[in-house]
Amino acid sequence: MPPPPGSSAPAPERRLAVLLSHFRPTREAPRATIRLASAERHGTAAAAEAEAEAEAGLSASPCAAGGSRSSGGGHCVFCNIVAGAAPAFKLYEDDECVCILDVKPLTTGHSLIIPKSHYPSLQTTPPTVLAAICSKLPLLGTAIMKATQCDAFNVLINNGEKAGQVIFHTHVHIIPRSKDDNLWSSETYSRNPISHGQETKDLVSSIKEVLSSSPEDYSTVTSSAPKGF
């Protein structure tokens, strides 16, 4: 729509700044956006640099890394919940994470702990963020057990598509358990004793070799397991 008579269209940089202010839910968003809005007053080079910084922040926050496999056209439902743009039954929140009820629970009280920043997998989630999430498991697990009158719970992470991950934003399941809930038990599947042969020794050596040479970015680690594993 053309601007009203007598008014001028906003500068492209300002339009981008307004757009970014709506799309980035992280605490870092306003800083780059404000810088971009003011940089247009200091020349083209400054504006271009600020625009690049803002665009970098935009791609890091929503579900860009997860792609369209996230929750509808590349938009992450968990990022939307964190930003307050999608509804959820919120149980707990702090600076690092939020805990909500699962919308399709396996048992009553089935909950999810979600980091506020977007990480598509366990490997890409910083250890400090994982530590913050895990440190809340005793508190949240105990509260959920008491509220649901259960005396046990499973902690579950589906990491990767083959492992059942559906939303590609790291999250931890807390699943309250009771005797007759008809879910799995530790003996649901048959289990055979581990072999003490060469195959197992090769597997141990392979895992140790990968660990000794792993970079800090675990998402780049590739498998070097012996053939057959």
Nearest CA to 118 out of 104, 129, 134 is that of: 129
Q: How far is CA 120 from CA 42, 74, 115, 125, 216, in A?
A: 37, 12, 11, 8, 17
| Active-site residue identified among 110, 118, 169, 171 | 171
Residues in Cβ contact with 129 at an 8 Å cutoff, skipping those fewer than 6 apart? 96, 97, 115, 117, 119
Half-sphere exposure of 186 (CA within 13 A, CB side): 3
Structure tokens at 206: 């392979």
171 belongs to the catalytic site = yes
Half-sphere exposure of 71 (CA within 13 A, CB side): 14
The answer to whether the CB of 117 falls within 8 A of the CB of 26 is yes
Q: How far is CA 137 from CA 4, 16, 99, 145, 184, in A?
A: 56, 40, 10, 12, 21
Strands 172-177 and 111-115: antiparallel
Which residues are designated catalytic? Answer: 171
